[in-house]
Chain A
Amino acid sequence: MKKSVFFGALTAAALAAGVAGAATLDDVKSRGELICGVNTGLVGFAAPDANGNWSGFDVAVCQAVAAAVLGDPSKVKYVPTTGQTRFTALGSGEVDLLARNTTWTYSRDTDLKLQFTATNYYDGQGFMVRKDSGVTSAKELDGASICIQTGTTTELNLADYFKANNMSYQPITVDSNAEGEQQFLAGACDAYTTDASGLAATRAAFANPQDYVILPEIISKEPLAPAVRQGDDQWTDIVRWTIFGLIAAEEYGVTSANIDELAKGTENPEVNRMLGTEGDLGAMLGLDKQWLVRAIKANGNYGEIFAATIGEQTPIGLARGLNAQWTQGGLLYAPPFR
């Protein structure tokens, strides 16, 4: 008679399953919940607090999309994924959206059948060393032991960089950022390499951050972009334009504070189009007119999200750098809402 649980579980599963068809938007709407694949814990980007509530830069993207689609930024279920499991989780339909600081690369876009939406953070791989090691440039790392997270683009970049510079190194592979930190702090490796933002976040959390330096060399381009499954253009567009909307909102000075004011109508026709007072851009995405208003209200515009999660006022203390608006000399450039 004990077979019961098995079938019980299966039936429960079947009840809970729902069918992930081609139209992700319909699934999300009927489920009433957005399932978002996030990092298992990277402070600033996606990490749960003591009560299991998630927050961070990537999480804010999930919340903005949920707000746009479902009208409620809290209707998100976070599925922590490891570097290993993230792409399959997306491919198999386990998550609707993968916002897990994932680098947009050629092979992932084509061969892994992912669809990257829009870059929300321009990153690059860097190195962190102890100050007392006296190393000031990555070129001096010949023969060093380097801690590196497995399952990421960083290990390929590292191999390429050392090969190009005719240097040797000993890779010390670690499974997670937490383990990498432990090994690096204990001195098991001379340098820790990962995305520069990750390095800054990691360094900020050390007991004595001033004892560690991040080397000036950035050895790769790492455009981090939320990804969705290939073959669902409508859903791709929703996520892509939500991100562009957040970026454009900063450009036009739309913030969570003044959005209610601006949503009544402004002088700027583009802002009017974005906020639904002019035309009906939302309908083209299969959403209502107010979609972007809700998305911006969730956590503010791009600049506000950046400042609240990883900006200079936070312990992570990242400067905008490449991630400033194009008008400020950065790379953020949202296509026109027209």
Chain B
Amino acid sequence: MTTAHDAPEHSGFRLSQLIYDTRYRSLTIQVVVFFLVMAFVGWLVDNTIQNLNALGKDFNFGFLWQRAGYDIGNALIPYNNDMTHGRAMLVGLVNTLWISFLGCVAATILGVVVGVLRLSKNWLVARMMTIYVEVFRNIPLLLWILVAIALLTEVAPSPNAYKINPETGEAKLSMVFESIAFTNRYTAIPSIHFDRSLGVIDTAFMPISLNVLAIAVVLGLCFWINKRLLAHAGRVQEATGKRPTTWWKSALILVVPTLALLIALGFNPDEPVLKGFNFTGGTNVSNSFVALWAGLSLYTAAFIAEIVRAGILAISKGQTEAAYALGLRPNRTMNLVILPQALRVIIPPLISQYLNLTKNSSLAIAVGYLELRGTLGGITLNQTGRELEAITLMMLLYLAISLTISGVMNVYNNRVKLKER
């Protein structure tokens, strides 16, 4: 029998251990890699400094406080050409967020509908949806955006078509519901008007309408009360086995206070009127916005449809059968059994589609909708010649948006995730 002589003879540290001892080797590798990466970054920075010096430029963001001088056609927050480049950037950022938000909402609704219809027993509709999904998924988004803007500008009439001819007293076209007009440059829709407005708080960033704030507060309260009501109904059902009828109470709680507030504020739609070249009074939604929105939503919806379909198919048929065996009606089976389970499969890829949509909103360049890339990374960059600063800032902003979306959605995902105990 041999005695184990495992203990190292030298308890001290030798340099060769840095390479041969697995305990230290990873440290060595990390230090080496760290220095290599830092050297590389340093090299890039050094080159940049040299190049900037050679061009006589510096790296500063002072241009953000200079007068912008250009106009933005579809600003959601107050803006005019006397404001700064920084303000223009904010306008762009808000536009990016707005188009992404609306795009995600539309794409989700459309995607879910298409995904479910693809599984429908209706032969014709299922085939049509398959064609839709395949066609949209396999052709670049840019083409859909270009087609959308071309359709809108070529097919829709010019605002003049709505002009009332003084001789006949009639217009070539009449507005839909007397309040919506599709034209080849924008869609004129009514805007909201309050006769007895509560006023506006003017913050530096954007004015906040007290009316909207009041409505939001009242609606929130209504929903909260309704939730309490339903919870109460649930408790009664648990205790007595009978669920009290709640629908009319819910309806009352949800509708009446809001309606009352709206009447009190003197709510009425401000309808667009053709004046000179264009409609005034309502809100004109520019075609570039509509085209981008349509392109993004239709394209992303095709991907979401596939995700939804895969999610539903992933739930085994036994689940449906079990639900039927329990006596649940088909729609309650869908709501209570299938969807909650399918959601867990659907949400992670859905998040990445939302991210893609947000990033793809930068294709606004093709239709001239001024979002973040159009303002900061477009006109501002061009007028000031600060490409290094503008692009760095733009990338960081996009990165921040992406990380925020994935962060928020991950929190949600963790909440609905199957909790294994």
Contact = CB atoms under 8 A, between A and B. Distances in A.
Given A87-B385, A170-B284, A156 B154 contact: no
A173 B276 contact: no
10 contacts: A84-B381, A84-B382, A142-B276, A150-B382, A171-B71, A173-B370, A186-B153, A188-B153, A188-B287, A189-B185
Nearest to A154: B70
A163 B81 CA distance: 9
Nearest to B379: A150
Contacts of A159: 69-71, 81
Interface residue range, chain B = 35 or more
Contacts of A172: 73, 185, 286, 288, 368
A174 B56 CA distance: 32
B87 to A, nearest CB: 14
A190 B284 CA distance: 15
A162 to B, nearest CB: 8
A112 B385 contact: yes
Interface stretch (A2-10, A175-183, A195-203, A302-310): A175-183
A71 interface: no
A155 B287 contact: no
A170 to B, nearest CB: 6
Interface of B: 55-57, 69-73, 81, 150, 153-154, 158, 160, 184-186, 275-278, 280, 284, 286-288, 365-366, 368-370, 374, 378-379, 381-385, 387
Contacts of A179: 368
A48 interface: no
A37 B57 CA distance: 22
Given A88-B387, A112-B385, A159-B71, A173 B284 contact: no
A267 B405 CA distance: 78
Nearest to A144: B277
A111 B382 CA distance: 12
A113 B56 contact: yes
Nearest to B384: A111
A136 interface: no
A330 interface: no
Contacts of B71: 155, 158-159, 169, 171
Contacts of B158: 187-188
A170 B278 contact: yes
Contact of B280 (A143, A163, A188): A143
B288 A111 contact: no
Contact of A143 (B277, B378, B385): B277
B69 to A, nearest CB: 5
B69 A156 contact: yes
A11 to B, nearest CB: 19
A169 B276 CA distance: 12
A84 B387 CA distance: 10
A238 B153 CA distance: 47
A63 B277 CA distance: 45
Contacts of A169: 71
